Amino acid sequence: MNILILYDSKFGNTERLATAMQAAMGSQHRVSSRALVSAPTDAAHYDLVLVGGPTHAHGASQPLKNALHQLPSGSLKGVPVAVFDTRFRMPRALTGSAAGVAAKLLRKAGAEVVDAPESFFVTRGSPPELDPGEDVRAATWAHDVAARLSPQWVTPA
C-alpha cells in the first residue's frame, strides 16, 4: 500500500508523530511523509493519506487550513484519508480540534474520511511537548487505520 503522511508542525510535535507513524508502517507499506506547505497535488495517487496538524485557536493552524483550502473541489474524489491533531488534554469542546477542521476541508475536496479524527496530547508548557507515550499511540493508530482499509481502496502492487 502507498501511504502519504502530510503534516503541519509548529513546535515539532506533529512532525514527531508523523515520523513515528512512518516508522511503524514502513516495513509493510511504502510510506512518504512531508510537511504540508501547499496543496498536496499528488495526494490522489496514494492508497491512504494521513493529514495532521496542531490545534490553534480552537481549530486548525493557518498553514494547515491554507494548504487544504487550496485543494480543488473533487480533486481527492474517493481518496481514503484519516486526520489527526495535537492539542491539550482537555475536552474537545474546550480546545477545538485541527483534525475536525481538516476532515471537513478534505471532504470538500472529495476525500473519503475513513476514521474518526484522532487527537494526540501535548503538555501546557512553553513550548508544549508530547505527553509521554503519544508517539507510540500515534504509530499504533496509523497502523490500525491502514490495516482496517477495505481491499477496494488498495492499489495492486
Quick: pLDDT tens for 140-155.
999 999 998 856 555 5
State mean pLDDT over 107-126: 95
State mean pLDDT over 6-12: 95
Q: Cα Rg for the chain, rounded, in angstroms? A: 14
Fold annotation for 2-153? Rossmann fold (3.40.50)
Q: What is the pLDDT of residues 43-72, one digit of tens each?
A: 999 999 999 999 988 889 999 999 999 999
- Domain extent listing, the chain: 2-153
pLDDT level of residue 157 (50, 70, 90 thresholds): very low
Decide if 125 contacts 68 (C-beta within 8 A): no
Cell of residue 110, nine digits: 472529495
pLDDT at 88: 94
